[in-house]
Amino acid sequence: MTPRVHLSDAVPAEIVHELEADFELVSSSVGADGIVAVLTVRVDDAYIDAAGPQLQIAANYAVGVNNIDLEAARRRGIVISNTPDVLTGATAEIALTLMLSLRIGNSSQQAQAKGKRLARTRQAPLCANLHPAIA
């Protein structure tokens, strides 16, 4: 028998397509063997009770598990899963961008304080003050 999986909310079509290859997608959590929960859906005692005793896994379509009552799941032997590290690269990129912005901002402020204009370049504004070996 194909495991029945409930999607608690909309997910990208690619995800739905992948899930349909191995699971029967159902419109309600009632009677589902597994659920794919999004961060805005609270998976707590009431949600788990409504799904039924056959529920085996709650896969969170998010990095954390703040929306899942881990103790309620533990009491029922339900496996909890999430998507760790999905935002690691994006977070690093934002951090680097902020550091570069601070450096460029400081150079602009220093030049203005000294009454100098920064030289115009053909580079993108974010890269205007980077060392030529980097830019």
pLDDT in tens, 31-69: 999 999 999 999 999 999 999 999 999 999 988 899 999
Strands 24-26, 4-7: pairing kind: parallel
Contact 46, 73 (CB under 8 A): no
pLDDT tens readout for residues 94-113: 888 888 877 776 655 566 65
Residue 25 falls in which region: left (phi positive, over 0), alpha (psi -120 to 50) or beta: beta
Determine the 3-state secondary structure of 26 from DSSP.
strand
Q: What is the pLDDT of residue 120?
A: 52
Residue spans of alpha helices (H) in 1-135: 13-22, 45-51, 70-76, 88-113
The domain locations on the chain are: 4-81, 88-127
* Dist. CA 62–CA 41, nearest whole Å: 11
Tens of pLDDT, residues 65-89 = 999 999 999 999 999 999 877 778 8
Instruction: Give the class (CATH, top level) of 4-81.
Output: alpha beta
Q: Taking residues 88-92, what's their average pLDDT?
A: 84
